[in-house]
Homo-oligomer: A and B are copies of this chain.
Amino acid sequence: MGAVIINFKAYKEGSGKSAVELAKIAEDVAGRCDDYIAVAVTALDLAEIAKEVSIDVYSQHVDPIEFGSHTGRINAEMIKEKGAKGSLVNHSERRLKLADIDFIVSKLKSLELTSIVCTNNVSTTAAAAALNPDYVAVEPPELIGTGVPVSKAEPEVVENSVKAAKSVNSKVKVLCGAGITCHEDYAAALDLGAEGVLLASGIVKAKDRKAALEELVGLR
C-alpha cells in the first residue's frame, strides 16, 4: 500500500477524451484498493478532469511566476483554482533551474498544494529534499519508458535515494519511477523503502488500461 502517481505526459492516449476516460478508470480502481492513486495531467485537461473525478489531480508543471505579464505561462494559483492537488516539478522531460524549483516548491507550500519534485539520481534527490517538498520522485532518465524497472535494474538507486533524502529531511516522502509497469516492480519499490511510484507509459499506453492498473495494485 503506497502511492501510485500516473503521469499522462503528452501522450495521445493521455490527452483529451482519452485522458478523462483514464482518470475515471483510476478513480474506479482507487475505490477498490488501499493504495493512493492520483493522476498528473496536461494543463489543457486539468480543469475538466479535476471536476470529473474525486481522486487527486496534479499538474505536470507550473511555471515559476507570480500573476502578471507572462504570456503562455501558468502559475500555482491558477492550478489551485482549477482544483489541482499539486504539481509535478522538474520532471526529467521538463527540467528546471535550481532556483526555480525552490521558488515553485515554496509557492506550492504557501498555497497548501502538494509538490512532487522529480530527480535523476541519489545526489539530486538529496538536493531536492533540502528544498522541503512533500515528495521527491527519483527516476534514472535512462530507464524512463523502457519497461526495465528501476526497482529491479538499479535497486541501490532507490535505496540510497531514500536514505539520502531522509538524512537531509526526515519528513520528505520518496517515490521512485522509470520502467515500472507491474505489481512486482511496484512491490519491489516499496520493499526498497520508497513510499510509492511515479509511472506513465506502462499504464497510459497499455492496451487494457483498467487491467494494467488493477494488476499494478494487486487486484488481479
Chain A interface (Cβ < 8 Å from any Cβ of B): 7, 9-12, 15-17, 40, 42-48, 60-61, 63, 65, 67-75, 77-79, 81-82, 88, 90-102, 106, 119-121, 123-124, 126-132, 144-145, 164, 168, 200-201
- With contacts A102-B123, A121-B102, A127-B102 taken as known, whether A71 is within 8 angstroms of B67 at the C-beta atoms is no
Q: A43-B43, A43-B74 are in contact. Are A10 and B69 (CB under 8 A)?
A: yes
A61 to B10, CA, bound (A): 15
- Do B99 and A97 touch (CB < 8 A)? no
Asked if B120 contacts A99 (CB within 8 A), the reply is yes
B16 and A81 form a contact (CB under 8 A): yes
Total copies of this chain within the assembly:
4
A69 lies within 8 A of B44 (CB)? no
A99 touches B72 (CB 8 A): no
- Nearest 8 interchain pairs by C-beta: A61-B72, A43-B43, A72-B94, A126-B130, A10-B70, A71-B91, A127-B127, A12-B67
Q: Is the CB of A168 within 8 A of B47?
A: no
